[in-house]
Amino acid sequence: MNKFILFILVTFFIAKVSIAQFPEQDCFGTISICQGHYEQLVSYEGYGEEFEIGEGSLLGEAASCGTHEQYSVWYSFSVSTAGTFEFILDNYPGTADTDYDFVVYDITDVGCDGIWEGTAVEVSCDYTGTADSTGIFGDGTLTAFEPALNVEVGHTYVIMIDHYSLTSIGYTIDFMGSTVLENSDSPAQLLGAITPITCSNTDTIRIIFSEPILCDSIALDGSDFIITGPSLVTVIGYSNINCEAGGSFATYIDLVIADPIAIGGLYTIEIVNGTDENSLMDACFNEIMVDDPATDDTLNILLPDALVANITFDSSKFCNGDSVYFQSNVVSSVAYSLVWNFGDGTTSTLDNPAHFYDISGSYTIVLSIQTLTGTCAFDLVDTLNIVIPFNAAFLYSPSTVCEDAPISFTNTSLGASIASSIWNFSDGGLDSTTNTVHTFASPGIYTAVLIITSTDACIDTTQQTIIVNEEVIANFGFSPSYICAGDEFTFTDLSTNSPVSWEWDFDDGATSSSQNPIHTYSSPGDYLVMLNVSSALCGSMFYTQLLTVEEYPYIDLVEDTTICDGQSVDINSNVVGYDILWSNGDTTQSITITANDELLSIIVDNIGCKSMDTLRVKSNCGLFLPSGFTPNDDNVNDGYMPIMINVFTFTMKIYNRWGEMIYQTNDKSLPWDGKYKNIDQPVGTYMVVVEAILPNGEYVFESGNVTIVR
């Protein structure tokens, strides 16, 4: 049994540029062709540790018919007998067509380095861009196929399969037409082991063989391997991406360990027969014999001192003012130091610090830890998303609040897990809806409070001062208190709470914007007067009054009246339906006057609209005989009639100088026209005799002379 020791000390800072970690993705880890048929169930993303082909490779040149090395897998074979080499590359059965390409190099004497150095001979390739079968077959007349390759004895060739379509769809490759492939008789060798790139406790070890291992020969529980060293190590299984996808072989085996290796030191890996009771077999069906001197079945590895750390924190319930509690979970057999970076510019050297975030956001948490000896140092990185879940806030509108006016309160709180909202308006009003409408009944200064609670029982409170302004109240009066048609009336604004504008409508087509307008109604009737007032803060309000405009009463008294001593006269006001007041105190429609000389007045009142009239009643009865007249037809003093005051009946007789009666009448409307028998009487003096009866029955006799003047 040949044994060798491989010392591996990997720290966090050891790294190599790579996109994948599968050996068969490099020329240095090719799959040795010893079977006629291979199945690759999945394509590997990217390329291997080295980028041998293409314009983006480290040193190499593009293949003559293509420029890609993507999702690559490498195969190799050596020629011991003369013949031809053929293969058919096809889509994996049952999958969609995909575009696979290939290139074949002769690396005899130059090795894999010759590819990127340009000394390896490119003997065949195909990059036709056809999503169908391709390969090296026959005379090359088939589309996307190159002719069979005559290979040279003693030469080594490599094939790079390139997946141009860049999908995970696998492929099959069939070498059944080749005459030069032989099965290797040498079993696969245990080349080495790789621990994870960390100096924390080791929980996985990758085993590398010189040839692919058949998946079916590996015990599922990993019992084909035993690891011994300073601490107990129990292998409980293995993993390999190709085996897990149903593939045939594995170019590496990841041993899964029950408990991480906590103590550093020298450990030995040994191959044994597992619980499946068979030996491991390589892809060429060579059995790896246990305890066979021809097989390197053991391997020594050196693990570093363990330094275990793991960032944990709980931000599932993060209320305003709460801190996040971080734990480093350090397990170490040696002294160490650490520094936390909380992603907001602050740090801590505590193992388990608490930190407060006051702003929502995504924070990158970095825990830098190292042993004091410097043999192990690494950074742990995690992301913490802080959402300040509770920030109570609200808006209200309108911004100017008036009494008895509805105010809308809108909950603008931040937090997706708000379970309840409680409003308190400090006037006895409470509400539990998300958004609400509230009315303040009285002016004043109030405090509106919003309390929100989360599903995790976080509570936040906010409040705002609400100034409630007095509502403008419209009102008006007028003077005088009664309204009479045709009179001027003054309307007085009695509105309260500081109105700044006034709009009057008098219901007769007239309007005014004065605060205290004067208005005259020309006609009686009912008028609905409206005043609309506006304030600078609390809008407007209108007020109406129904006004009745009355008319002035019409009085129809007789002309001044003359009566005789002791005589009475009835005076009728001819007014109906109004209040009457005579100057003698009577309130009846008609009164009887007996006074000798009196100025009588009457006031008629129509609900404040008062009319007045006067009548003079004189005591004067008797006759007066004018001394002459001028009957010359000039319509001035053309007839003669005694002046009679309160004469009930009379008789007037005219005599000439000879005693002859030349005219007689008892009609006041028939004065003497100075004629007798239609003949004008001469200028001169004539005798007039009047007899009269006064209203009081008194007999009056008057006689005298009258002169005709022409």
Q: What is the CATH number of the domain that holds 294?
A: 2.60.40.1220
Window from 226-230, 300-304, 428-432, 485-489 with minimum mean pLDDT: 300-304
Residue type, 421: S
Higher pLDDT, 4 or 666: 666
For residue 704, the tally of other CB atoms under 10 A from its CB is 14
| Residues 428 and 455 placed together within one structural domain of the fold | yes
Nearest partner of 600 among 640, 571, 624, 576, judged by Cα = 571
Domain count, the chain: 7
Q: Regarding predicted confidence, which is higher, 212 or 448?
A: 448
In a domain, 2, yes or no: no
Q: How far apart are the C-alpha atoms of 33 and 48, rounded to whole Å?
A: 19
Question: Contacts from 532-536 at CB under 8 Å and sequence distance 24+?
Answer: 532/474, 532/502, 532/503, 532/505, 533/472, 533/474, 533/493, 533/495, 533/499, 533/501, 533/502, 533/503, 534/472, 534/499, 534/500, 534/501, 535/472, 535/497, 535/498, 535/499, 535/500, 536/498, 536/500
Q: Examine residue 84 and state whether it is found in any structural domain, yes or no.
A: yes
| 600 burial via Cβ count (<10 Å: 0-12, 13-18, 19+) | buried
In contact, 339 and 347? CB cutoff 8 Å:
yes
Residue 590 lies in a domain: yes
The answer to whether residue 576 scores a pLDDT higher than 90 is no
> Percent of the chain having pLDDT more than 90?
33
Predicted local distance difference test score (pLDDT) of residue 52: 66
Terminus-to-terminus CA distance in the chain, angstroms? 192
569 in a structural domain: yes
> How far, in Å, CA of 194 to CA of 191, rounded?
10
Confidence band for 233, pLDDT divided at 50, 70 and 90: confident
CB count within 10 Å of CB 682 equals 10
* Beta bridge pairs of residue 271: 225
> Of 646 and 315, which is predicted with more confidence?
646
Q: Which of 157-161, 308-312, 610-614 has the lowest mean pLDDT?
A: 308-312
Check pLDDT > 70 for residue 441: yes
- Give the CATH number of the domain where residue 415 resides: 2.60.40.10
Are residues 47 and 163 located together in one domain of the fold?
Answer: yes
Q: What is the rounded average pLDDT of the residues 185-206?
A: 63
CATH number of the domain encompassing residue 98: 2.60.120.1050
**Residue 460 backbone dihedrals phi, psi, to 5 degrees:** -140, 150
* 423 and 452 within one domain: yes
Residues 43, 122: one domain? yes
In sequence order, which residues have a C-beta less than 8 Å from that of residue 383 and are 6 or more positions away? 362, 363, 364, 365
Co-location of 352 and 279 in the same domain = no
Tens of pLDDT, residue by residue over 491-540, are 999 998 889 999 999 999 999 999 999 999 999 999 999 999 998 888 78
Backbone φ/ψ region at 178: left (φ over 0), alpha (ψ -120 to 50), beta: beta
Q: Is residue 707 scored above 90 in pLDDT?
A: yes
Task: Give me the DSSP letters along 401-432.
Answer: EETTSEEEEEE--B-TTEEEEEEE-SSS-EE-
Of 50 and 372, the one with more pLDDT: 372
- Quickly state the pLDDT bin for 661 (edges 50, 70, 90): very high
CATH number for the domain harbouring residue 698: 2.60.40.3080
At which of 445, 469, 493 does a domain end? 469
pLDDT digits (tens, 9 = 90+) for 261-286: 766 667 788 888 899 888 888 877 78
pLDDT computed for residue 14 by the predictor = 24
- Tell whether 275 and 249 lie within a shared domain: yes
Number of residues assigned to the chain: 710
Residues 222 and 243 in one domain: yes
Domain endpoint, select from 303, 334, 359? 303
**Domain termination residue (choose one: 242, 272, 303):** 303
Within a domain: 152? yes
141 located within any domain? yes
CB atoms within 10 A of CB 259: 12
Whether residue 674 lies inside any domain: the answer is yes
The rounded mean pLDDT for the chain is 82
Q: Do 437 and 456 share a structural domain?
A: yes
Provide the pLDDT for residue 466.
95
Q: Please say whether the beta carbons of 534 and 547 come within 8 A.
A: no
Q: What percent of the chain has pLDDT over 70?
A: 86
* pLDDT tens digit sequence for 12-69: 222 223 333 577 788 877 888 877 788 887 777 777 666 667 544 433 444 556 556 7
Integer Cα distance of 329 and 310 in angstroms: 5
The 8-class DSSP code of residue 391 comes to: B
Residue-wise pLDDT for 328-355, tens only, equals: 988 776 788 999 999 999 999 999 999 9
Q: What pLDDT sits at residue 520? A: 95
> What single-letter amino acid sits at 457?
A
Task: Report pTM.
Answer: 0.36
pLDDT at res. 396: 96
In angstroms, the CA 543 to CA 535 distance is 14
Residue 633: name the closest of 675, 588, 583 by CA. Answer: 675
- Reduced to 3 states (helix: H, G, I; strand: E, B; else coil), residue 113 is helix
pLDDT band at 678 (very low <50, low <70, confident <90, very high): very high
How many angstroms separate the CA atoms of 28 and 50, rounded? 9
Non-local (6+) Cβ contacts of 403 within 8 A are: 440, 441, 442, 443, 468, 469, 470, 471, 538
Q: Per the domain annotation, does 573 fall within a domain?
A: yes
What is the C-alpha to C-alpha distance for residues 413 and 263, in angstroms, rounded to an integer?
Answer: 53
Which phi and psi angles does 9 have, rounded to 5°?
-125, 105
DSSP per position, 622-677 = EEE--SEE--SSSSSS-SB--EEES-SEEEEEEE-TTS-EEEEE--TT--B-SEET
> Cβ atoms within 10 A of the Cβ of 426, count?
15
Q: Residue 486 belongs to what domain range?
A: 476-550
The verdict on 427 and 359 lying in the same domain is no
pLDDT of residue 295: 53
Structure confidence by residue, pLDDT tens digits, 117-141? 888 898 888 877 777 788 888 887 7
Q: How do beta strands 312-313 and 324-327 pair?
A: antiparallel
- Do 259 and 362 lie in one domain? The reply is no
Q: Are residues 152 and 51 in the same domain?
A: yes
Would you say 93 and 169 are in contact if contact means Cβ atoms under 8 Å apart?
no
Q: How far apart are CA 412 and CA 394, in angstroms?
A: 5
At 93-108, the pLDDT tens digits run 878 788 888 899 999 8
Structure confidence at residue 143 as a pLDDT band (50, 70, 90) = confident
The DSSP symbol for 29 reads G
- Same domain, residue pair 586 and 510: no
Triad 46, 51, 54: Cα angle to 5°: 95
Q: What confidence score (pLDDT) does residue 468 get?
A: 94
E strand or H helix at 242, and its extent? helix 241-244
Q: Which of 183-192, 244-253, 311-320 has the lowest mean pLDDT?
A: 183-192
Alpha-carbon distance values, 273 to 225, 286, 288, 663 (Å): 8, 15, 10, 185
Residues near 67 by beta carbon (within 8 Å), at least 6 away in sequence = 54, 55, 127
